[in-house]
Amino acid sequence: MWRVTDSTRAVGGDRLCALMVLGVISLILILGSLAESRVYSELGKIEYPAINCRKHSASLKDFGGVGDGKTSNTKIFQSAISKLSQYASDGGATLIVPPGKWLTGPFNLTSHFTLFLQKDAIILASQEEMIPMEGQNGTIDGQGSYWWNKFHKKQLSLTRPFMIEIMYSDQIQISDLTLVNSPNWFVHPVYSSNIIVKGLTILAPVDSPNTDGINPDSCTNTRIEDCYIVSGDDCIAAKSGWDEYGIKFGKPTQHLVIRRVTCISPDSAMVALGSEMSGGIDDVRVEDLTAINTESAVRIKTAVGRGGFVKNIFVRGLNLNTMKYVFWTTGSYGAHPDPNYDPKALPIVTGINFKDVVAKNVTISAQLEGISKDPFTGICISNVTIEVNELKKKKLQWNCTDVAGATNNVTPPPCALLPQKDKTDCAFPDDKLPIEAVQFKTCLHQRILDLHTDLHQRVSDLPLVVAPDVFQPLKHFEWDHLLLEEEAVADGAVNGERRSCYGWSREWWKKKLQTLQRQRQCEVLAASLKTVGLVVGRWRKEEGKGISRKKKKEGKEV
């Protein structure tokens, strides 16, 4: 999987890391996002929404990548990212992963960098490398069954890798990806801030172990929206460290927005808060979510020894269908990392608000369990309608211990610890968090034609452009570079075909590109044009200048 770190700074340092992992589907809205992404195949133009646009770009094929699903591209990714990272201080860089199946082991991304997967690009995790890996829309396939089988057989000596892990970073965008079959959690931003996760499709078998969808961990200002998640564990889980380690580090997850997400997870929660919450979870805003065939909606998980807090939680607009529980809190959740936890470290759970919930085909309306002598307080539930499955329903629909709060307009009637209080309307903030105000720019990337595949397919279809006798950069073009072989001019040109500016036909280029590995290479020119067409210039070795139209008119070789 891919691990993204800003390894040059310590926690609390002031260096910023801006990362984007993007995908694009031509000419359609992407999974309900408000921006439209387009691909202009004629000249390799790609338009997409992003927090930041990059000045430089290159294709994975430019570095020798092979997208056959068999050849390892680990070193290619590492080399490409290393070289493109040199542009971090000059507008940043984009690495384009073109259509194909790209097998790779783990690699690190870097600051001021965009990994862009085109439609039909699939990143495959290598099963031979015992470290995490990641991917995009295009698709990233973690090939997790290899790991799940070893986990079930207790044959692992290492922790299973996450698909995408982002550490100590700021200004992060992960959008418009399809992620499948992660060995462990899919997306794990940790100790990071200003994160947008948008338009992801996350798919794993519902019986796969620990395949959480998106888990912000000790993160500040996070926005998760417009995602579709099928998971063997929690679709989304907010975390902040485990027992004494989380207490010591003391970095909460706070200012988290989750909206317009659909979840399917028969054995876990749509949104979980915890259980690793020892650094604290504060100011979480959840709205307009849909759960189908899912164990619970928003679940709080904690235990004695966790410490920390869960507070200021605001939930509204849930549409739930086929649920075991609607409301579920647990004060005795599971294991500890080691026996050194502090049994006196009790979590504080308070200010939990639910409103405007509709649930159908439910087994149990609520299982609300706090901690003895440490009750969960300030629970507010209003305007909730729950339709219980008559065949599966439990006699006790609201099971409440060690909790306190109030309810209003809730069906079926809640437990005595949450009494009816008329005119109660549970809170949801009117203000907007800073991350909600972040708007995407429209980035236009005009891709240089790929030397190995695109050039011979497209050069004959481009309009004629007249160049000067001595080849020089023209003022009305934006010039970039392309590697072409340096050799003598070929004999003749195919009559009747549209040609590039010096008369070389598509077939001529195809022939020459096939012999590229046997040729010396020189850096010539190519172009992202502001006006029309493409100019491909060459230098004659013996003359050091371009071939002119004048020579063709004189009957000389072209």
Structure tokens at 186: 């899919």
**Is it the case that residue 345 has pLDDT exceeding 50?**
yes
Q: Are the C-beta atoms of 77 and 114 separated by less than 8 Å?
A: no
Backbone angles phi, psi at 304, to 5 degrees: -60, 135
Question: What is the C-alpha end-to-end distance of the chain, expressed in Å?
Answer: 50
Structure tokens at 184: 């462990």
Residue whose entry in the numeric block shows the structure tokens 């080399």 = 79
Task: Give the 3-state secondary structure of 150-211.
Answer: HHHCCCCCCCCCCCEEEECCEEEEEECCEEECCCCCCEEEECCEEEEEECCEEECCCCCCCC
Which amino acid, residue 325? Y
What's the pLDDT score for residue 218? 98
Q: Specify the DSSP element, H or E, that contains 80.
A: helix 74-84
Among residues 37, 76, 155, 11, the alpha carbon closest in space to that of 443 is found at: 37
**Is it the case that residue 392 has pLDDT exceeding 90?**
no
Spatial separation of the C-alpha atoms in residues 202 and 177, rounded to whole Å:
8
Quick one: CA torsion of 315, 175, 437, 33, rounded to 10 degrees? -80
**pLDDT band for position 487 (50/70/90)?**
very low
Q: pLDDT digit string (tens) for 11-51?
A: 223 333 444 454 432 222 122 222 233 333 333 567 788 88
Catalytic site positions: 233
**Is it the case that residue 351 has pLDDT exceeding 50?**
yes
Structure tokens at 291: 């759960």
Among residues 130, 134, 154, the alpha carbon closest in space to that of 142 is found at: 134
Q: pLDDT digit string (tens) for 229-243?
A: 999 999 999 999 999
What's the pLDDT score for residue 46? 75
Q: pLDDT digit string (tens) for 443-484?
A: 877 644 343 344 434 333 433 333 333 333 333 323 233 333
The CA-atom distances, in angstroms, between 396 and each of 367, 371, 391 are 10, 20, 14
Structure tokens at 508: 């001529």
pTM value is 0.76
Residue whose entry in the numeric block shows the structure tokens 């139209």 = 549
Q: Are the C-beta atoms of 234 and 224 separated by less than 8 Å?
A: no
**Secondary structure percentages of the chain, helix, strand, coil, to 5:** 10, 40, 45
Q: pLDDT digit string (tens) for 495-525?
A: 333 333 333 444 555 555 555 434 433 333 3
Which amino acid, residue 50? A
Q: Are the C-beta atoms of 206 and 229 separated by less than 8 Å?
A: no
Strand partners of residue 366? 327, 398
**Is it the case that residue 279 has pLDDT exceeding 90?**
yes
Structure tokens at 418: 């949450």
Cis peptide before 544 (omega within 30 of 0): no
- Overall residue count recorded for the chain in this entry: 558
**Higher pLDDT, residue 359 or 538:** 359
Q: Are the C-beta atoms of 388 and 363 separated by less than 8 Å?
A: yes
What's the pLDDT score for residue 400? 98
Among residues 214, 204, 78, 69, the alpha carbon closest in space to that of 127 is found at: 69
Which amino acid, residue 427? A
What's the pLDDT score for residue 339? 94
Average pLDDT over residues 203-215: 98
Q: pLDDT digit string (tens) for 82-127?
A: 999 999 999 999 999 999 999 998 888 888 999 999 889 999 987 6
Spatial separation of the C-alpha atoms in residues 235 and 294, rounded to whole Å:
10
375 burial (CB, 10 Å; 0-12 / 13-18 / 19+) is: middle
Pairing assessment for the beta strands 100-104 and 68-72 based on DSSP bridges = parallel
Strand partners of residue 294? 323
Spatial separation of the C-alpha atoms in residues 173 and 421, rounded to whole Å:
43
Phi/psi class of residue 266: alpha, beta or left (left: φ > 0; alpha: ψ in -120 to 50)? alpha
Spatial separation of the C-alpha atoms in residues 307 and 513, rounded to whole Å:
64
Share the mean pLDDT of the chain. Answer: 78
Among residues 508, 511, 512, the alpha carbon closest in space to that of 500 is found at: 508
In the 8-state DSSP scheme, what is residue 455? Answer: H
Kindly write down the DSSP assignment for every residue of 395-451, as one continuous string.
S-SEEEESEEEEEEEEES---TTS-B-TT-------S--GGGG---EEEEEEPPPPT
